[in-house]
Structure 1
Amino acid sequence: MNIVVLLKQVPDMEKVKFDSERGVVDRKSAGTEINPFDLNALEAAVQISEKLQSQVISMTMGPPSAEEALKESIARGANDGILLTDRAFGGADTKATAVTLANAVKKLSSYDLIICGEKSVDGDTGQVGAEVAEFLDIPHVYYVDEVRKIEEDYITVVSNICGGRYIKRVKFPALISVTKDINTPRLPSLRNKMMARKAEIKKWSIDDLKEYLNPEEVGLKGSPTRVKRIEVPPEIKRQGKVCRNNISSFVDEIFKALKENKILEG
């Protein structure tokens, strides 16, 4: 079995700053890390590979510096890493990103399962995985928090949606998007870290994918989404009021506040 794990290198969201005028995240304002949800996806893939002796390929689209994320994925158990990097890929929205990733997967000789995290902490859209599956015309299951069974041609998983847990069985090739509840990602050993530093990461540019990609469908050109403005809402602090004498007036104020905040209708 060949498993592809879709990763994204994201900024440290506790330190990153936002460029409100341009409507973008200032990625240079903070350090980077593998998207936390994608670490769960990687761990799920490694656990499957340990049972079925599968090959795990991690894949990401980003600048040359994203090579470090792929090396970390190898330290955590992946067998190989592929970096899609080209200026032509820059400025991509979820659609253009999914188009690029899907066609890179097509370039692989074979694959059975694609695993990704449910969302990225910088974009928080939860769209790319499903879009990749649609562009590949394969079934997908989102919000997977348990892998129940893997057969020769099928995988059975549990999907947690709106408080309900659903058992779903899909045929390979397929894509699953996992939640943080599926596992606890392992930490890489020092030995694996040292080995991963020497790993050779494959780098594919738009020229390497020209057999599969239309240049007009990737990067900023292929992105129909535009962010007009980013607003950071002000922090809401708790407020209090003390009433000692007129209890009746105090009760009226409580009811008024409940109605204004639509907690109590009527």
Structure 2
Amino acid sequence: MKVMVAVKRVVDANVKVRVNAEQTDVDTANVKMALNPFCEIAVEEAIRLKEAGKATEVVVVTVGPTAAQEQLRTALALGADRAIHVVHDEALEPLSIAKLLFAVQQQEQAQLLLLGKQSIDGDNNQTGQMLAALAKMPQATFVSEVELLDDATLAVTREVDGGVQVMKLPLPAVLTADLRLNEPRYATLPNIMKAKRKPLDTTDANALGVTLKCHQQIISVVPPKQRSAGVMLDSVEALVDKLKNEAKVI
């Protein structure tokens, strides 16, 4: 079973983001970038499937500028076998990303497609679902457990509002990883060195035969308002009074 994992380059989760001067996007100049945490979980799950003898190859794919190869090398150092970089310098919306990933899937014919449930920059939670729709594959989102029952069937546990839901899916299928699916490993120095020699192929939208169109326009990007300091109250009555007369929510 070949597993294809989509990953994304994002601003490191520990960096305090700032809006650029033009208010068109987040300022990424001289900012530490990293592999999206949910994508890292998806990579870890694919590697565990291979270590268990249930996957034969793990292919990581990203769409982004040349600098995104750094995150592909990170995924290779974690244990992926090879990488594919779809070069595109401008930010793309989820539908365009899904179209490019679908084109790669058509070439690779992977039996399992793994993605993070969302990226920590856009927080759209859309790409996996759109990819499943384009590929006409069954999907399970917010997955917290994966079990391969046989060569053609998966059992997954996914988190829903009421608790957890267990599903069986035929392969090929699309899964999006939730936070509790696993805890990603750290890349060891020997594996980091080995990753430099692993195959990393590049392509672009034209080579994949994908025509990209803009379906959205960002009007402006502004930072959230600063929160005012909280106050300590000495009784429930005082809290009710504040909610009623100041906040006016009751």
TM norm structure 2: 0.91
Corresponding position of 2:132: 133
Greater shift, 24-33 or 61-70, is seen at 24-33
Tell me, yes or no, if the aligned pair for 1:116 and 1:129 is still in contact at 8 Å: yes
How far does residue 233 in structure 1 lie from its aligned partner after superposition? 1.9
Corresponding position of 2:10: 10
Q: Residues of 1 paired with 2:138 and 2:63: CA distance?
A: 22
Q: Percent identity?
A: 25
2:230 aligned with 1:239, yes or no?
yes
Tell me, yes or no, if the aligned pair for 1:140 and 1:175 is still in contact at 8 Å: yes
Q: Residues of 1 paired with 2:233 and 2:46: CA distance?
A: 56
Tell me, yes or no, if the aligned pair for 1:144 and 1:182 is still in contact at 8 Å: yes
Q: Residues of 2 paired with 1:39 and 1:135: CA distance?
A: 24
Unaligned runs of 5+ in 1: none
Pick the structure with greater CA Rg: 1
Corresponding position of 1:165: 164
| C-alpha distance 188-254 of structure 1, shift in aligned 2 (>3 A) | closer
Aligned amino acid, residue 81 of structure 2: N
2:58 is paired with a residue whose SS is: strand
What are the within-5 Å matches in structure 2 for residues 1-266 of structure 1?
1-13=1-13, 14-19=15-20, 21-51=22-52, 52-87=54-89, 90-108=90-108, 110-210=109-209, 213=210, 215=211, 218=212, 222-240=213-231, 251=237, 254-259=239-244, 260-261=246-247, 265=250
Deviating 4+ runs (over 4 angstroms): none
Greater shift, 90-99 or 67-76, is seen at 90-99
Tell me, yes or no, if the aligned pair for 1:23 and 1:227 is still in contact at 8 Å: yes
Aligned amino acid, residue 227 of structure 1: I
How far does residue 149 in structure 1 lie from its aligned partner after superposition? 3.6
| C-alpha distance 145-20 of structure 1, shift in aligned 2 (>3 A) | farther
Greater shift, 191-200 or 12-21, is seen at 12-21
Q: Residues of 1 paired with 2:99 and 2:145: CA distance?
A: 28
Q: Residues of 2 paired with 1:242 and 1:7: CA distance?
A: 46
Aligned amino acid, residue 62 of structure 1: G
How far does residue 163 in structure 1 lie from its aligned partner after superposition? 4.1
How far does residue 93 in structure 1 lie from its aligned partner after superposition? 1.0
How far does residue 242 in structure 1 lie from its aligned partner after superposition? 7.8
Aligned pairs, how many?
Answer: 247
Q: Residues of 2 paired with 1:3 and 1:182: CA distance?
A: 16
Tell me, yes or no, if the aligned pair for 2:2 and 2:55 is still in contact at 8 Å: no
TM norm structure 1: 0.85
How far does residue 150 in structure 1 lie from its aligned partner after superposition? 3.1
Unaligned runs of 5+ in 2: none
How far does residue 29 in structure 1 lie from its aligned partner after superposition? 4.1
Q: What is the aligned-residue RMSD (CA, Å)?
A: 2.2
| C-alpha distance 78-224 of structure 1, shift in aligned 2 (>3 A) | same
